[in-house]
Amino acid sequence: MRIYHNIEEFEKVQNAVVTTGTFDGVHVGHLKIINRLCEIAKENNGETVLLTFFPHPRMVLFSDDELKLINTKNEKIALLEKAGIDHLIIHPFSREFSRLSSVEFVRDVLVNKIGTSCLVIGYNHHFGRNREGSFEHLKEYGPLYGFEVEEICAEDVHEVAVSSTKIRNALKKGDIKTAKSYLNYDFGLNGIVVKGNHLGHQIGFPTANIKVFDSYKLIPANGVYGVRVKYKEDFYKGMLNIGMRPTIGGTEKTIEVHIIDFQRDLYGEELTIYIDSWIREEQKFEHMNALKLQLEQDKRVVLNS
């Protein structure tokens, strides 16, 4: 997959089969679009082009919107490469770019810059200034500018139309099962281990405090989770706590992972944590020994899962 960080870097390819959107999560609905994109490209000896944007448009247009994303930019790149895209354009989104009308976006970007021969879009896709453009507009513009248009219906999981918003809401509630079914992969957090207060060591459950690399990355609901931890090229089972640590009177949210049967100094090391399951809500215990007993029970749950 070739990556372009500005549409100006892209040179037209023959029979460009194109889709565009934010693609946060690269979920099963997105994959339905991408799979169809690849089918059309193969049938027509063309190449697939995916145009997306960074930052997310809502972050630019609504600065007070506390939007957090399912994927970091690097995570999205990896997922789209795995999906089989030939060309990925990540165009910087700005207020100036947002002012393009729907016809300007089609003419100047999709046609003149990319050379679109076929455009595949998701259900209820909107584009251009104030999201004025729709599938109906594209059906008018297609014959005018010489490209075909195909709309993909919403992907249903358990009779619910999948969307990035629904996945974000599930993660915010700690509903890992629903998020996983919509994503079709395990949601992950990537960060560096920073110094903690060593209280976990005192009760036999040392933890690595994680500082997530990207501030816009969505952090799931406070609670305890069963996880897999990737360190270098190896995976380990673990227990993740997200929250305020009420038992010790914590005042700031932390992300701490206990890696089961692991003895190594990890300060300054990079870890990736893949969330397998929700175990329980974060709670306040009367004393540290009560917390230790609960952690032992949590560990049994993780090991038996």
The predicted pLDDT at position 18 comes to 98
Q: What is the pLDDT of residues 79-95, one digit of tens each?
A: 999 999 999 999 999 99
> Are 194 and 227 in the same domain?
yes
pLDDT tens-place string over residues 151-173: 998 887 777 889 999 999 999 99
The reported pLDDT for the residue numbered 197 is 78
Question: What pLDDT does 225 receive?
Answer: 98
Question: What's the pLDDT at 63?
Answer: 77
Could you read off the pLDDT of 139-155 as tens digits, one per residue?
999 999 999 999 998 88
What integer pLDDT is reported at residue 243 of this predicted model?
A: 96
- pLDDT > 90: what percent of the chain? 85
**Residue 178 located in a structural domain:** no
Q: Are residues 52 and 199 in the same domain?
A: no
Asked whether residue 224 is assigned to any structural domain, the reply reads: yes
Domain-embedded: residue 220: yes
Query: Which pLDDT value is given to residue 178?
Result: 97
Mean pLDDT for the stretch of residues 203-229: 96
Q: Is 270 left (phi over 0), alpha (psi -120 to 50) or beta?
A: beta
User: pLDDT at residue 65 above 90?
Assistant: no
Tell me, what's the pLDDT at 224? 98
What's the domain range around 134? 2-161
Q: Are residues 53 and 138 in the same domain?
A: yes
pLDDT tier at 15, thresholds 50, 70, 90:
very high
Task: Look at residue 202 and tell me whether its pLDDT is greater than 90.
Answer: no
pLDDT for 233-274, tens place per residue?
999 999 999 999 888 888 899 999 999 999 899 999 999 999
Give the mean pLDDT of 268-289: 96
Q: Are residues 149 and 75 in the same domain?
A: yes
Q: Is residue 274 situated within a structural domain? A: yes
CATH number at residue 205: 2.40.30.30
Q: Across the chain, what does the average pLDDT equal? A: 94
| Confidence grade of residue 123 (pLDDT, cut at 50, 70, 90) | confident
Together in a domain, 208 and 106: no
Are residues 13 and 94 located together in one domain of the fold? yes
CA atoms of 238 and 240, how far apart (whole Å): 7
